Amino acid sequence: MDLKIVRIEEKAKPKKVELKKLEDQVEKENSVIFYFDRDNSHKDLLDLQDHFEAKGKSFYMKEVKYGLSETEYMYEVHVL
């Protein structure tokens, strides 16, 4: 499963990150906040939640709006 991390510039393309890289960071730091791009499907993020919860981790996700437009949002994910 490849997810797209949040883009830094509005017109830039989001970069992909592999699940293994996310897992490594969670194991290393124990508590991590990730920011994912709006181009990710909600289903993929729910699959990510299932993955981490199956490993005994707590998973919190919310949508963060950073502008007035309907397309100006990102997903914030906190894995403990």
| Model pLDDT for residues 1-59, shown as the tens digit of each residue | 789 999 988 889 999 999 999 999 999 998 999 999 999 999 999 999 999 999 999 99
- Whole-prediction pTM: 0.89
Q: Is the pLDDT score of 71 beyond 80?
A: yes
Residue 16 pLDDT: 96
Residue 2 pLDDT: 84
40-49 CB burial, b ≥16 within 10 A, e <16: beeeebeebb
Residue 20 pLDDT: 95
Residue 1 pLDDT: 77
Q: Are 56 and 50 in contact (CB under 8 A)?
A: no
Distance CA 56, CA 58 (A): 7
